[in-house]
């Protein structure tokens, strides 16, 4: 065998590097083989609560400014506070003086106490025992799709609404309505087999499979293949002001 033929044979049997596979799938990776978009450390701890007051104030100032539809330059002009200082306040890297807070409250048309609202808010958790999810009437319910809401937290600090559902489809599930809504959605199969549609693509899914997608495309179960069918549906979308 010639050297050229040997090199070609070696190339065909070589397993693709994970980075090459993810690039082919449209996922950009950094040199450590982590998706570059995932910059938040889920295990990081915040500073002690007393040092988070600046962050809470900054979040509230930014939210109020955006609600009014004004720029940092507009707010600087109305308060006499420099744009650089306002940027530091909104990013929680400096502690604003009482005089600055009074000027901001006046310009934004809110009581001074509103700036401390996020700092004082409790951080809630919802625990649901097995089988005790709340039955919800949603589009698809009449077709035999059973929705159980697994928890809901109003007015959370993330700016994102999350709806976690446990869906059960039975042999009585006669039709398969298509869904289309804002936000992102994650489907995680617990049992059964289904062919799930997203846009013009079909995905064969069984226990342990997941599908994460932009929910603005038409989606939903296309074909029920093996019963019983149970899967988690977690929908996330921006909170409305």
Distance CA 212, CA 129 (A): 26
User: How high is the pLDDT of residue 103?
Assistant: 94
The DSSP result for 28-47, as a single string, is -B-TTSSBTT----TT--PP
Place of tokens 């958790």: 125
The reported pLDDT for the residue numbered 36 is 56
Q: Which pLDDT does position 131 carry in this prediction?
A: 80
Handedness of CA 102, 103, 106, 110 (dihedral sign): negative
The first and second tokens of residue 154, run together, are 């109003």
Q: What is the largest CA-CA distance in the chain?
A: 84
Backbone angles phi, psi at 79, to 5 degrees: -105, -20
The dihedral of CA 142, 147, 153, 157: what is its sign? negative
How far apart are alpha carbons 76 and 124 in whole angstroms?
Answer: 35
Distance CA 199, CA 203 (A): 11
User: 27 by DSSP, 3-state: which?
Assistant: coil
Total residue length of the chain? 241
Supply the DSSP string of 181-240, one letter for each residue.
-SSEEEEEEEEEEEEEEETTEEEEEETT-EEEEETTS-EEEEEEEEEEEEEEEEEEEEPP
Residue-by-residue pLDDT tens, the chain, 241 positions: 555 555 544 544 444 444 444 444 444 545 555 565 666 676 665 544 444 888 889 988 998 999 899 999 999 999 999 999 999 999 988 989 999 999 999 999 999 888 887 675 566 777 888 887 888 766 555 556 788 999 887 766 677 889 999 999 887 766 677 899 999 999 999 999 999 999 999 999 999 999 999 999 999 999 999 998 999 999 999 887 5
Q: Which residues pair with 146 in a beta bridge?
A: 168
């Amino acid at each position: 065998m010639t050297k050229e033929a040997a090199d070609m044979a070696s190339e065909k049997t070589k397993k693709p590097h994970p980075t090459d596979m993810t690039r082919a799938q449209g996922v950009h990776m950094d040199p450590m083989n982590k998706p570059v978009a995932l910059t938040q450390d889920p295990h990081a701890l915040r500073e002690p609560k007393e040092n988070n007051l600046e962050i809470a104030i900054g979040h509230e100032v930014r939210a109020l400014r955006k609600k009014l539809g004004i720029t940092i330059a507009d707010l600087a002009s109305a308060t006499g506070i420099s744009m650089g200082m306002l940027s530091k306040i909104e990013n929680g890297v400096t502690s604003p003086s009482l005089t600055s807070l009074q000027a901001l409250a006046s310009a934004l048309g809110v009581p001074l106490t509103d700036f401390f609202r996020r700092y004082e808010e409790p951080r809630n958790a919802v625990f649901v025992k097995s089988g005790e999810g709340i039955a919800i009437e949603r589009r698809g319910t009449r077709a035999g799709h059973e929705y159980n809401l697994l928890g809901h937290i109003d007015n959370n600090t993330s700016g994102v609404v999350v709806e976690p559902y446990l869906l059960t489809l039975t042999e009585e599930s006669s039709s398969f309505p298509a869904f289309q809504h804002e936000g992102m959605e994650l489907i995680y199969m617990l049992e059964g087999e289904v062919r799930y549609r997203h846009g013009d693509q079909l995905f064969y899914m069984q226990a342990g499979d997941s599908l994460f997608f932009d929910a603005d495309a038409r989606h939903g179960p296309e074909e029920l293949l093996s019963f019983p069918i149970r899967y988690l549906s977690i929908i996330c979308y921006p909170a409305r002001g």
